[in-house]
Structure 1
Amino acid sequence: MLLLALDTATPAVTVALHDGASVVAESNQVDARRHGELLLPAVDRVLAEAGRKLDEVTGLVVGVGPGPYTGLRVGIVTAATFGAALGIPVHGLCTLDGIAHAAGQAGLEGEFVVATDARRKEVYWARYADARTRLTDPAVDRPAELGERVAGVPAVGAGAVLYPDAFTEVRADLPQHQSAAALAALAVEKLRAGEDFLPDQPLYLRRPDAQVPANYKVVTPK
């Protein structure tokens, strides 16, 4: 087994290579505006560090969001392209699940919430029973409207750090962005357990910012 994992659904451009036993190389760069520019060099760097070639990869793992429209698509399109070119499976995972798994690897136990920045003064979030068990579907909401749904439990992620008034037990010491290493480790666990994955399709939760105008101005020839 040799899994190449990547995710661009948060400001992190993150790539990792997992051989089924451990992560053999990884790259993490936080830059919300350069996903497309940074991702492929990160893949090359990770493969070179591990001393492996792309055609040795047996499966792709990709975070499918939720996340902002443009950044999210970079990782998914890249994974889908690699998968089609190499003839190997592409396993989709919720980005929030990857952050939750990283929090568990860092020692967090019991119930908690993961929240990432959705911009527009909103967060993408979900609640977990533990690092492997999500209790709610991913959602996008204004932090002030979450109330009891996030109160009284630790909160992980950049979205929680941004809104400490809503997330009352913020764990800023735990991962704030996605980690492809954690995503790959989670995928290995799921593969061994025979669990299902998500399709490699973006989980947007809301419409993109760009919209087709509802009414075009009629122009008549002179």
Structure 2
Amino acid sequence: MITYSEIDPQKKAFIFELDNVLLPEKDYLLQVYYLFANFLEYVEAFPPATDVINFFKKVYENHGSPLIFDKAREVFGFDEKYRENFDRLHREAKLPLKLLLYKESLNFLQEAVVDRKEILIVSSGDPLQQLNKIRQTEWNGLEKYLRVYFTDEIAPKPSAEALLYVLDKHGLKTEDVLFFGTTELDAQFAKNAIVDFINVKYS
């Protein structure tokens, strides 16, 4: 993650994607999987929650989240009806632990706020799920400085429409902002809006 001192001081606002930019997506998903596994064991008495948790963790680390419910169902044989519970937990889970920002992101945000820069989050994905993450994140007092937008409520990436909408709403020009993302889709999103882009990488 680039440090605040390396940024062009002429920038008036910073726009961030949420997942894997401000906080690790896995910290949310692994807690969702934990809650689902314990719910399943409570309702069905089998399979053991620890077995399901370990399976989810292994699959996620090796293959990511797509089709993870189907893979678990193949192995453990639980009923398809639990997909609704699985999906609902992604949107509404009350997490056992608060989500924590990357240390580098926290430092950057704190310095930007002190320097009176605008902090905007423009996030893709299910708006309810993303909002649930935001509400359960430890922002260290920064939450009052955040303005949050969801591309799925405006126009999906990589259309420039969502970014241009946010700029217009805040009276900003494209050259006033810097967008922080972590995927090729994010890069194209910024490029389409003619906004400077930084690809965030954590060691």
Tell me whether the two structures share a fold, i.e. TM-score over 0.5. Answer: no
More helix by share: 2
Which TM-score applies when normalising by structure 1? 0.31
Which TM-score applies when normalising by structure 2? 0.33
